Structure 1
């Protein structure tokens, strides 16, 4: 065998290895893009899909590799996958057009209190400093209910519909304005409760507010409960009463059932304000979990969103979400 023949075999083998490496890098991103676009998350994939924004950034690496190695078809597939993932994620970082609402401004804060372990002083300080009009809480316990009032929440937000329970299932709504048609409903999944009521804001139509808390898909066997609870959330009524859902949805905008709920006539406030990539949960229990956005304020599409910010609350694994919105005039 001549030296030239050996050299040719080595080059061909190297070419095949490089091509295989490109495809190995490209296929996961392409599969993820297909999964996300088709809404096919099931079982353990439900948790994985929450990290789609990170995968969208990582999808650029196989594209760069394929281009560097001049592998045309891997580069084409990598480019399509990267563009698809970035296309669904990137708009969350940019403010969207708003409806022409010309009524009063409302400031709404939502917070998961982690079995009542959140610092009540921080929460009351947030309400006071930002002149919050409505506060929705999840994992709301009798102990933190008493602490919040002791620190002045009763004077700041005197109207309420509260269902404190020991553990994770409690829920509540506090408001600056009168509440009517109040109640509490219990989800089928983890039996989380959801307090609700209709807010009478001067100068605006009646506004239904609910503290949302569907089941968490923390294990494969409870994913059906997660689907059930998200599907049972009250849909928007785009030709009827204004509605807001605010709370811990245990789902991101990359999860199909949350997108289906929004499609009934809601808008995600953070997405509308260009703050849709701000993480609201994680790390958890010291585990190196990158933050994901599972706490949301969903507003009727007739409501304008002026701003959304997230705030640390010591003692909770969630960040509170503050949305400033403008309602249509009465």
Structure 2
């Protein structure tokens, strides 16, 4: 007797059936929308940064992270090219070009003026309201032997502790205004300090003093601590605290400290345009990050808000940043040559 047998479909046959054309179109359309949104965001960010327009104070915070957005901007053109979306590829490469214009100069050393005068080493540090162990700071002072040290958030107990650590043996001259609540500021120097003054305005303390070198050259040094563009009164205080800083021209001047601004902030670029050069930028180290570092994982995004601005007649030889214990800012050391 013959048996009839039923042949079933092989297992997994359904998975070999190609998706319908409508599904492919929907997937591609969804990818196009996401890609367009990413490209538009990068173009918009680059355009805002290049124009210098800062529409609201939150942008003043966000624009600090432009270097990280520049890295993310590499994704859309690669995605668009791989999926053969050629018009989007062109737009995405336009965004990358914007960020290249913004960031590449910071990575390339600039030409130096023909300065042949004495060397001046400038060290600066925000002490996080005095939390930095003075022993750690003195270790760096002994290591780098600065001619000038500017300090911010110079708390009331810091002068005594520095004196006990022997700061007078290395930096015997000072103009210091110790205060609480992160308002204190100081300028220490190896050479005589005179004409000290507090800069006007509300917010953290900022001070200036004249340092006279052995050959008689005089350099005005400003210990900078601008307000933070965070919230409330500090937002209103932030831009004016930078605009109150003295512009370049006339006597030689060096501004050093916590500007609470990066090179992506228009207000800082406008100050530099008066005749200064940013030391990190001038040495091709403009992407050296300085904040925040205390108890932050390595992958947490950092930004560059601590600067040394030198009169454009001064040659910038070197710039470096050093991480200290119990501080959210990094110490910076800058080597200058006076004209």
**Range class of TM-score, shorter chain:** over 0.9
Equivalent position of 1:27 in the other structure: 40
| Cα drift, residue 106 of structure 1 | 0.7
Q: Matches of 1:195 and 1:112 in 2, distance apart? A: 14
Q: Deviations over 1:242-280 (max 9, x none)?
A: 111000000000001000000000000011111111110
Pair member with larger Rg = 2
Q: 1:204 to 1:275 in 2, by over 3 A?
A: farther
1:308-323 matched pairs, under 5 angstroms:
308-323=319-334
TM-score of the pair, normalised by structure 2: 0.90
Length, aligned pairs only? 319
1:95 and 2:105 aligned: no
Q: Deviations over 1:184-240 (max 9, x none)?
A: 22432x2x1112111111336311101001101122663221111111111111xx1
Q: Matches of 1:291 and 1:21 in 2, distance apart? A: 27
Equivalent position of 2:58 in the other structure: 44
Q: Deviations over 1:155-187 (max 9, x none)?
A: 111111000002200000000111122112243
Equivalent position of 1:301 in the other structure: 312
Equivalent position of 2:259 in the other structure: 249
State whether residues 319 and 335 of structure 2, in contact with CA within 8 Å, keep that contact through their aligned partners in structure 1.
yes
State whether residues 104 and 204 of structure 1, in contact with CA within 8 Å, keep that contact through their aligned partners in structure 2.
no
1:83 and 2:97 aligned: yes
Structure 2 residue runs without a partner (length 5+): 1-18
| Cα drift, residue 54 of structure 1 | 0.7
Equivalent position of 2:163 in the other structure: 149
1:56-205 matched pairs, under 5 angstroms:
56-188=70-202, 190=203, 192-203=204-215, 205=217
Structure 1 residue runs without a partner (length 5+): 1-5
State whether residues 205 and 242 of structure 1, in contact with CA within 8 Å, keep that contact through their aligned partners in structure 2.
no
Q: 2:303 aligns with which of 289, 292, 302?
A: 292
| Cα drift, residue 17 of structure 1 | 2.6
State whether residues 207 and 244 of structure 1, in contact with CA within 8 Å, keep that contact through their aligned partners in structure 2.
yes
Equivalent position of 1:263 in the other structure: 273
State whether residues 140 and 164 of structure 1, in contact with CA within 8 Å, keep that contact through their aligned partners in structure 2.
yes
For 2:228, what is the secondary structure of its paired residue? Answer: coil
Q: Matches of 2:216 and 2:89 in 1, distance apart? A: 53
For 2:53, what is the secondary structure of its paired residue? Answer: coil
Q: 2:244 aligns with which of 232, 238, 243?
A: 232
Q: 1:315 to 1:12 in 2, by over 3 A?
A: closer
Q: Matches of 1:119 and 1:217 in 2, distance apart? A: 27
Supply the RMSD in Å over aligned alpha carbons: 1.7
For 1:51, what is the secondary structure of its paired residue? Answer: helix
Q: Matches of 1:161 and 1:35 in 2, distance apart? A: 40
| Cα drift, residue 285 of structure 1 | 6.2
Q: Matches of 1:93 and 1:204 in 2, distance apart? A: 35
Q: Matches of 1:178 and 1:281 in 2, distance apart? A: 31
State whether residues 307 and 325 of structure 1, in contact with CA within 8 Å, keep that contact through their aligned partners in structure 2.
yes
Q: Matches of 2:134 and 2:201 in 1, distance apart? A: 26
| Cα drift, residue 12 of structure 1 | 3.6
For 2:269, what is the secondary structure of its paired residue? Answer: helix
State whether residues 135 and 174 of structure 1, in contact with CA within 8 Å, keep that contact through their aligned partners in structure 2.
yes
Please identify, of 88-97 and 100-109, the stretch whose mean Cα deviation from structure 2 is larger.
Answer: 88-97
Equivalent position of 1:3 in the other structure: none
Q: Matches of 1:179 and 1:221 in 2, distance apart? A: 33
1:8-27 matched pairs, under 5 angstroms:
8-27=21-40
